[in-house]
Amino acid sequence: MKGFRNFLAQGNVVDLAVAFVIGAAFATVVMAFVNDIVNPLIAIPGGKPNFDAYTVTINGSQIKYGTFVTALISFVLVAAAVYFAFVLPYTRMKQRRAGPAAATTRQCPECLSDIPVGARRCAFCTAQVTPVASS
């Protein structure tokens, strides 16, 4: 029971709950965007905003493949909207804030293999190298 109490106290559950609520609200916004803006654009060349009416009958069984096509198109459009509106700008912002990454490897002067920055001997050719002081 103590471990569970510690888990709750760490804030992981609260963070997860907030993410879930924000995600649900965001899903509503994205679905409204797809249904009210993107689907009518799809309807321009095809005449219908969705493909739900498309079916095929085989041996008396009706296969409603149009519903699947509509769901697939909606998924792709939602994924694209999320990626271009949120993921891509967020990734760029994180990269700008992080600055240049510190090098973790360098080249061996003898064999030109990549070795750790703090290495004193090359693992490939066993040449002695001067370790680089980490700053």
Tens digits of per-residue pLDDT, 92-101?
998 888 877 7
Per the structure, the complete domain to which residue 82 belongs is given by: 2-98
CB-CB contact of 122 with 108 (8 Å): yes
Q: Quote the number of domains for the chain.
A: 2
At 134 the pLDDT is: 59
- 112 has a pLDDT exceeding 80: yes
For the chain, helix (H) and strand (E) counts, in that order, are: 5, 4
Among 36, 19, 15, CA closest to 81: 36
Tell me the pairing of strands 105-107 and 56-58: unpaired
Distance (Å, whole) CA 71 – CA 94: 32
pLDDT digits (tens, 9 = 90+) for 48-66: 667 778 899 999 999 998 8
Q: Are 115 and 133 in a shared domain?
A: yes
Q: Are 68 and 126 in a shared domain?
A: no
Q: Are 12 and 59 in a shared domain?
A: yes
Q: Are 91 and 116 in a shared domain?
A: no
Q: Are 61 and 118 in a shared domain?
A: no
> Helices marked H in the chain — which ranges?
2-9, 12-33, 39-46, 65-82, 88-98
Q: Which CATH number do you get for residue 84?
A: 1.10.1200.120
- 38 has a pLDDT exceeding 60: yes
Q: Are 47 and 6 in a shared domain?
A: yes
pTM of the model: 0.50
Q: Are 32 and 74 in a shared domain?
A: yes
State the average pLDDT for the chain. 83
